[in-house]
Amino acid sequence: MSFGQTARRVIFGLAVVICAASWISLGLAWALDWPQAIFIATVFAAAFSTEAMFWVGAVVLGWTAFANRAELWKKFTGGSAA
């Protein structure tokens, strides 16, 4: 594996870790009944980190990863792409 491939995987891995951490913090904020302001902040953090993860994945891993999802959807549903 070349340095470029390794760097891309590390960058996407960091995006996944940040996204997972924000969703874990959202779960903790909900489970521990933290103040509403903190809960709303964790909701925003989870939403933005998830969106950022998708865009980082699209840029770093290439658009074909997202183009292939239509084919996967056809295989899973046996119908046309959504």
Most confident of 2-11, 40-49, 73-82: 40-49
Q: DSSP string covering the chain, please?
A: --HHHHHHHHHHHHHHHHHHHHHHHHHHHHHTT--HHHHHHHHHHHHHHHHHHHHHHHHHH-THHHHHHHHHHHHHHSS---
Spell out the domain ranges in the chain.
3-77
User: Which tens digits make up the pLDDT trace of 20-77?
Assistant: 999 999 999 999 999 999 999 999 999 999 999 988 988 887 767 667 777 777 888 8
pTM over 0.75: no
The angle, 0 to 180 degrees and rounded to 10, between the axes of the packed helices 3-31 and 36-61 is 160
User: In this predicted structure, what is the pLDDT of residue 59?
Assistant: 86
